Structure 1
Amino acid sequence: MAVLEARNLVVDIPGREGGHAFSARVLPGQRWGVLGPNGAGKTSLLHTLAGLRPARSGEVLLDGQSLSGLTRRAVAQKLAVVFQERQDSFPATVLETALVGRHPFLSPWQRESAEDLRLANGALERLSLSLLKDRLVSTLSGGERQRVSIATALTQQPAIWLADEPTNHLDLHHQVAVMALLNQQAEQGAAVFMCLHDLNLAARWCDHILLLFPDGELCFGPADTMLVPEVLERLYNQSLSVTTVNGKPVFVPA
C-alpha cells in the first residue's frame, strides 16, 4: 500500500494564468474520479501527479517523499500510469508488451522470470486477451490496445493507479469489466485515481470526486456531495436530468 499526496499543487497549463492549488491525499482503497470538460486540465493533472511534467508550484509526495527526489524506477515500483492514448515505438507482441510492467523490478539485461510470465499471463487473462498474446500490438483495434495498456499496468502490480480515460475506446461490456477490475484493485488496497468523461461510470464506481472547471477552479469531496445536478450543470454548462438506478444516480443531458 502507498499514499500519493498533492501539497499546494498548481498544475502548469499553457495559456492559463495562475491556478487553484490542489491539496489532498489519495489513500489506499480509495477510488477517485476526476471530471471536467475538455481542456480543463485532467490529463495535465494526472501527468503532474505521476511526475511526468513539472508543476507550476507545490509538490507531489509518494509515501511522504517528494516525487522529484525519487528515481523513475522507485516511482514505477509503486505507481502505474494508464495513458489515454499510446504510441508503440517498436514492434512487440501483446505478451511482450504486458511484460514491460515487470521492468521496474528487473536489473539491466535481466530476463523475466517464470513468476513475471505468470503475472503477465494472468493479467492478459483478466482482460480477455489471452488468445491475442502472440499478436503484434500494432495489429489490434483501439479497444484491444487499451486493454493491453491496462493489462501492462496490472502486471506491474502497482499500489497506486493513475488512469487517464481507462475506458477509452471500450465497448459497454469491457467498460464495466475494466471498472470492476479497478474497483477490485481498490478493495485489495490499491489507490485508484482516474480521469473520466462518463458521469455514470463515476457515479457507480467512485467514492471521491474531483471537479476541474475550465477557469482553473476545482473542488473535491465524497462522491455523493459532488455528483449533484446543480454542480455538474455548472461544470459542463449543460442541463441534466437525473434518476436513480440500483441506488446510484444516473445523469442524462436534458
Structure 2
Amino acid sequence: MDALETHRLVIDIPGRAAGRPLDLRVSPGERWGVLGPNGAGKTTLLHTLAGLRAPRAGEVRLAGLPLARLGRRAVARRLGMVFQTSHDDFPATVLETALIGRHPFLSPWHQEGPEDLALAEAALARLDLTHLADRELSTLSGGERQRVSLATVLTQSPQTWLADEPTNHLDLHHQVAIMDLLAEQAAQGSGVMMCLHDLNLAARWCDHLLLLYPDGEACWGPAEVMLVPTVLERLYGQPLTTAMVDGAPVFVPRR
C-alpha cells in the first residue's frame, strides 16, 4: 500500500505569511483528523495534498514519488477526494455518478464493464443508496448527495482517502455510518485523512490529529497526545469541559 507524505510543505493561502512547514506521513491503516477553526486552511491543505492546488513551498509524495510528476490518471488510481460540497454540473443518476469512480481505470472511450458495475452497486449498498440508484442527482437532498460522493470514492477504491467534512449535511445515524466506513477502509489498509469540525467524532474515530491555526502554526501527533483540553482550547479560543464516555474523551463547550 502507498503512503502519502509531505516534505517541508507550506500551503499557499493568499494574504497569510508562510506557516510551519509540514512533514507528515499518512501511512496505510492510519486515520488522520485535521482540526482547526474556520479559515485555518483545512480545505486548502486537502486540495494541495490531492494536487489540485500548488503549494507555496515543499512537495507532496505518493508512493515515494513527487505528486507533481505523476499524471492525473496515475494520481486518481491511488488517491480519492471527497469534497465538502458537490457540484451537479451534468445530469446523471446516482448509479452513473458512482461509476465515475472507475474512470481512472478505463481506457479512453471504453465503457464500464460488469466488474465496474458490481463495484458501484456494492458501494451504493454500503452507503444505503441502492433504492436511489436511478434517481437524478439533482433531486437528492444535501445529505444524500454527500453519501453519493462517498460512494463514488468507494467505487474508485483508492489507497489513500482525503475527505473534506465527510459528515457534512448528514444526520447523526449517517455520521456514525460514514465514520465507520472510513475506519473500515483504514482497517483494510488505506490511509485516511479527513477534515472535521466535530471534536467528538475526531476523538472517537481518529488515531492521529493535525491541528491547524489561523496564523499558520501547526502541530500533529497521535490522537491521545493531541486531545488535551488546554491544546484544543487554544486552537478554538473556546473553554471546554471534558468527560470520558465509553473509553473516549467527549468535549463540551463551556460558557
Which range, TM-score by smaller chain? over 0.9
- Percentage of identical aligned residues: 69
Partner Cα separation in structure 2 for residue 15 and residue 143 of structure 1? 33
Displacement of 1:86 after TM fit? 1.4
Partner Cα separation in structure 2 for residue 18 and residue 179 of structure 1? 32
Displacement of 1:19 after TM fit? 1.5
Partner Cα separation in structure 1 for residue 18 and residue 250 of structure 2? 34
Partner Cα separation in structure 2 for residue 125 and residue 74 of structure 1? 27
Partner Cα separation in structure 1 for residue 203 and residue 33 of structure 2? 9
Indicate the residue corresponding to 2:23 in structure 1.
23
Q: Which runs of 5+ in 2 are unaligned?
A: none
Partner Cα separation in structure 2 for residue 218 and residue 17 of structure 1? 13
Displacement of 1:195 after TM fit? 0.3
Q: Which residue identity lines up with residue 165 of structure 1 in the other structure?
A: E
Indicate the residue corresponding to 1:210 in structure 2.
210
SS of equivalent residue, structure 1 residue 23: coil
Partner Cα separation in structure 1 for residue 194 and residue 102 of structure 2? 22
Partner Cα separation in structure 2 for residue 190 and residue 152 of structure 1? 16
Task: State the Cα deviation string for residues 197-235 of structure 1 (Å, max 9, x = none).
Answer: 000000000000000011000000000010110000000
Partner Cα separation in structure 2 for residue 189 and residue 210 of structure 1? 20
Displacement of 1:187 after TM fit? 0.3
**TM-score, normalised to structure 2's length?**
0.99
Displacement of 1:20 after TM fit? 1.1
Q: Which residue identity lines up with residue 121 of structure 1 in the other structure?
A: E
Partner Cα separation in structure 2 for residue 82 and residue 174 of structure 1? 16
Indicate the residue corresponding to 2:177 in structure 1.
177
Displacement of 1:125 after TM fit? 0.3
Partner Cα separation in structure 2 for residue 23 and residue 47 of structure 1? 17
Displacement of 1:89 after TM fit? 1.2
Task: State the Cα deviation string for residues 133-166 of structure 1 (Å, max 9, x = none).
Answer: 0000000000000000000000000100000000
Displacement of 1:88 after TM fit? 1.3
Indicate the residue corresponding to 1:80 in structure 2.
80
Displacement of 1:95 after TM fit? 0.1
Displacement of 1:85 after TM fit? 0.3
Q: Which residue identity lines up with residue 120 of structure 2 in the other structure?
A: A
Partner Cα separation in structure 2 for residue 14 and residue 170 of structure 1? 31
Displacement of 1:101 after TM fit? 0.1
Indicate the residue corresponding to 1:233 in structure 2.
233
Partner Cα separation in structure 1 for residue 38 and residue 76 of structure 2? 28
**TM-score, normalised to structure 1's length?**
1.00
Indicate the residue corresponding to 1:32 in structure 2.
32
Indicate the residue corresponding to 1:164 in structure 2.
164
Partner Cα separation in structure 1 for residue 100 and residue 9 of structure 2? 30
Displacement of 1:24 after TM fit? 1.1
How many aligned positions are there?
254
Indicate the residue corresponding to 2:12 in structure 1.
12
CA RMSD of aligned residues (A): 0.4
Indicate the residue corresponding to 2:41 in structure 1.
41
| 1:242 maps to 2:249 | no
Partner Cα separation in structure 1 for residue 244 and residue 105 of structure 2? 45
Is the deviation greater in 47-56 or in 11-20? 11-20
Partner Cα separation in structure 2 for residue 251 and residue 13 of structure 1? 30
Q: Which runs of 5+ in 1 are unaligned?
A: none
